[in-house]
Amino acid sequence: MTYPPTSDEQRLSGDENFETTGPERAADELAAAAETRTESDSLGSLQIPADSYWGIHTARALVNFPITRRAISNYPDLVRALARVKQAAARANRELGTLDPAKADAIEWACERVLAGEHHDQFVVGAIQGGAGTSTNMNCNEVLTNIALEHLGRPRGDYASLHPIDDVNRSQSTNDVYPTAIKLAMIFGLQRLLAEHRLLAQSFAAKGREFEHILKVGRTQLQDAVPMTLGQEFTGFAHTLVEDHERLGEVIPWLAEMNLGATAIGTGITADPRYSDAVRRHLVELTELPFQTAADLIEATSDAGVFMTLSGVLKRAAVKLSKICNDLRLISSGPQAGLGEINLPPRQAGSSIMPGKVNPVIPEVVNQVAFSVIGADATVTAAAEGGQLQLNAFEPVIAHSILQSLAWMTNACRTLRVNCIDGITANTDRLTRQVETNVGVVTALTPYIGYAAAAALAHTALTTQSSIADLVVDAQLMSRDEVQRVLSPERLSGIQPVTGVVDLAAIQHAQRAADERAWGAPRSESDLT
């Protein structure tokens, strides 16, 4: 489906992608199909392409909202969610006797076709639209109606036999269908994100185990600090993701609070008083999700708080994942003049001018996804605040922002795991050299040789690039075995606790050696205890 052109203002702006036509020309283009059918609404009549499953309400939306040129079919979760809600409504209306069983069966058959992935190309209205989602709801009503009509042996557009509003939309309003459907779509997207997020955390944890005995220099404020293992760093990444995984999962029960039965503003006008409970039961049965009807339907119809909650948690997860990617880019920098602690899998040539250059493209793309999620959260916040009185008219941009963030985050987690994390290797020799000559190692020796001797050794190591262990042994401050024990990866990284188990004999030996270097003789035994 090609969207109708927009406005003369866009032509005057120099945008060659837009034609100089308005709503009348757009309606004519819709009617220019080889075969058409006539549909009418309260505004008049239009010619609709005979082979389309959508109708006049969708046609008007195509004229009115050529904004993003991104149809709701780009969000298959939303299309499936709409079909599920309509299916639950048809079952509830049949149960209550407010809809003819034959019509209800036909509507349910149409819903199943959409749930199976058929006719998604007929969901053509733009994702961003005025009307609080009415165009999306009507697009769905019309498509389901015409699918059902065909199933009943009737032509498309024969609304005397089955009507998009009187039958498919029975007991419903856009104001309860649309928010429920986008919540369900968000649950679908969130479930996929959680699955990929879990796999990514497991990938980081596996690297943590693989690198558990590889020492490296820890850094604070980009300056050398004290030793740790590369495994600890990657295990930390895994734990960061686990925390966010828990927060993301906590949102699902909140999204499962619905307002079906509220109809227009929460009073339930036009719906059977029993409908709210009936449609909830059927939606739970169809989705196997713990949907609950909100205690206050007036509040639930106007409130967008849960969308801010989900968007905020998504932003948190994106920001923390982006920080991890910043670290990956930094510790893999080089390969010769940077930190070069790890090797990221080379994915593509990095430069059109510099031969052999390879860039950290996977962490970079995840960074950019995070930037987008952060921006989307600002959009959701503004849209939630912009609601007025009994309805928030800006749920379409909320839905677009969150569904896009969910999809992009899911894909980002997958490509980061498959194309980056699983293939990371450690530059063990480089890390070993950095630890051996790094003055941060001296910190571990201060309980044995004293602060003054440690400071002197640090200065010597910095000026000579010598191994700390060699300097300590050469100065006869400690034996080689003692130094190796104290500077073992397990002790340096804190895996083997040090507090309370410091070897007193080793301390006394080191202090005697330091005294002999300073004064030519050790101090008394009482000074060492």
d(CA 58, CA 293): 30
Residue 362 forms part of a structural domain:
no
Query: Distance of alpha carbon 197 from its chain centroid, rounded?
Result: 9
Which tokens belong to 169? 């939309």
d(CA 480, CA 240): 38
Please give the full DSSP string across 299-339, using - where no structure is assigned. HHHH--HHHHHHHHHHHHHHHHHHHHHHHHHHHT--SSSS-
Q: Kindly report, residue by residue over 140-160, the tens digit of the pLDDT.
A: 999 999 999 999 999 999 999
Q: Kindly report, residue by residue over 311-322, the tens digit of the pLDDT.
A: 999 999 999 999
Query: Looking at residue 6, what is its pLDDT?
Result: 40
Helical packing angle, 275-287 and 76-96, nearest 10°: 130
- Looking at the fold, whether 258 and 400 belong to one and the same domain comes out as yes
CATH number of the domain to which 98 belongs: 1.10.275.10
Q: What total of structural domains would you count in the chain?
A: 3
Query: Looking at residue 207, what is its pLDDT?
Result: 96
Give the structural domain span for 61: 8-170
Residue 191 forms part of a structural domain:
yes
Residue, of 31 and 262, whose pLDDT is higher? 262
- Looking at the fold, whether 412 and 454 belong to one and the same domain comes out as no
pTM for this model (two decimals): 0.84
Query: Looking at residue 463, what is its pLDDT?
Result: 86
- Looking at the fold, whether 206 and 236 belong to one and the same domain comes out as yes
Segment 174-196 shows an average pLDDT of 97
Residue 351 forms part of a structural domain:
no
Q: Give the DSSP letter of residue 129.
A: -
Q: Kindly report, residue by residue over 47-64, the tens digit of the pLDDT.
A: 999 999 999 999 999 999
In sequence order, which ranges of 226-270 are alpha helices (DSSP H)?
A: 230-250, 252-255
Q: How many CB atoms lie within 10 A of CB 496?
A: 12
The residue type found at 156 is R
- Looking at the fold, whether 165 and 208 belong to one and the same domain comes out as no
Residues 6 or more apart whose CB falls under 8 angstroms from that of 523 comprise 511, 515
**Cα–Cα nearest to 266, from 401, 452, 423, 391:** 391
Q: Kindly report, residue by residue over 250-292, the tens digit of the pLDDT.
A: 999 999 999 999 999 999 899 999 999 999 999 999 999 999 9
**Cα–Cα nearest to 128, from 360, 383, 369:** 383
d(CA 456, CA 460): 6
> Comparing 230-239, 465-474, 486-495, which segment has the lowest mean pLDDT?
486-495
- Looking at the fold, whether 23 and 92 belong to one and the same domain comes out as yes
Query: Looking at residue 459, what is its pLDDT?
Result: 84
Active site residues: 351
pLDDT band at 527 (very low <50, low <70, confident <90, very high): very low
d(CA 433, CA 415): 32
Residue 345 forms part of a structural domain:
no
